[in-house]
């Protein structure tokens, strides 16, 4: 499974869970039985579910950002290595050229 597909599926699942928990909380408050009504146990479970969802979103975001950071660093390191190889090649080409008399006299 590719990098972006794996993380996009996880993101959609976490987003759907978040909206589900928010929908349950809003429906409890809309019935007038919110905060301290008859459905106190269900509301506590819903809030716990929302907290777990938020922690999941935070962990996912942290993992995603760290993966992206490592990918960017790895790509840039490869690019920097290519740059140094190119500069070494230019230096060797310059060293292989015959020097002019004016440059050798100085």
Nearest partner of 17 among 60, 57, 69, 74, judged by Cα: 57
> CA-CA distance, 16 to 56, in Å (whole number)?
12
d(C-alpha 1, C-alpha 3), whole Å: 7
Instruction: Extract the tokens encoding 96.
Output: 């292989």
Number of domains in the chain: 1
| Interval 8-65: pLDDT, tens | 777 777 777 777 777 766 666 655 555 555 666 777 777 777 788 777 777 777 777 7
Whether pTM exceeds 0.75: no
- Kindly state whether residue 101 falls inside one of the protein's structural domains: no
Does residue 20 form part of some domain? yes
Residue 74 lies in a domain: yes
How many residues are given for the chain?
A: 106
Q: Is residue 41 part of a domain?
A: yes
Residues in CB range of 49: below 8 A, 6 or more apart: 17, 21, 24
Tokens coding 14? 């976490």
Q: Compute and round to an integer the Cα radius of gyration of the chain.
A: 30
56-101, pLDDT tens digit by residue?
777 777 777 777 777 777 777 777 778 788 888 888 888 888 776 6
Its domain, for residue 59, covers 3-96
Residue 1 has pLDDT above 50, yes or no: no
63 within some domain: yes
């Amino acid at each position: 499974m590719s990098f972006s597909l794996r993380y996009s599926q996880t993101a959609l699942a976490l987003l759907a869970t978040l909206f589900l928990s928010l929908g349950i909380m809003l429906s409890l408050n809309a019935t007038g039985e919110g905060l301290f009504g008859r459905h106190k146990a269900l509301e506590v479970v819903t809030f716990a579910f929302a907290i777990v969802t938020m922690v999941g979103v935070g962990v996912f975001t942290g993992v995603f950002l760290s993966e992206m950071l490592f990918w960017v660093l790895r790509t840039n390191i490869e690019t920097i290595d290519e740059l140094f190889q190119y500069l070494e090649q230019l230096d060797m080409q310059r060293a292989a050229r015959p020097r002019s008399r004016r440059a050798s006299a100085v």
